[in-house]
Amino acid sequence: MRLLPALIGLLLPACASEGVSGLPVPPPMQLAGLQRPASPNTALAAPAGFLPTPDIVTRTYAVPPERLYAAIRGVAEAQPRTFLAASYNDRRQVHYVVRSAVLNFPDLVTAEVDADSTLILWSRSVYGQSDLGVNAKRLTAWLAALDAALLTSH
């Protein structure tokens, strides 16, 4: 363990942990109608008309939902400091913990693919009032990587 995350871990315990350690296993979630916090430390990517209103609008993908689910899992698992926390394959829902590079802050990311091949991504900080735009940037990067993966995996 690096010194700075260990010291921060005295106040914010999950920062002293590695991978998914220090955080509870996320249960399956109902993403439609989720209650977002008032703090600006989350980002939601979802189709138009989704409630709550997404920050980033996703499209319907022209691939079967199982392929889209496998592709978003592949994208997530290729990201640095990203760890599988739980998967509910029957729901095509998966949860990840993403750790920041320097201070080891954990963020949570949930991905879900609906039966009509739409994608919902919800990224949120465990600690802090603001995320300095990190969650939205993450979702934008994951969506770009997903498009590239689907384009190259005909």
Residue 54: closest CA among 39, 33, 82: 33
| pLDDT for residue 6 | 81
CA distance 96 to 4: 23
Q: Domain 41-152: which topology?
A: Alpha-D-Glucose-1,6-Bisphosphate; Chain A, domain 4 (3.30.530)
Mean pLDDT for 35-56 is: 96
pTM (predicted TM-score)? 0.93
Phi then psi for residue 125, to 5 deg, are: -85, 145
Q: Is the dihedral of CA 26, 32, 35, 41 positive or negative?
A: positive
**Domain definitions of the chain by residue range:** 41-152
Q: Are strands 56-58 and 82-88 parallel, antiparallel or unpaired?
A: unpaired
Task: Please check the confidence at residue 31 and state whether its pLDDT lies above 90.
Answer: yes
Identify the pLDDT of residue 2. 76
pLDDT score recorded for residue 154:
59
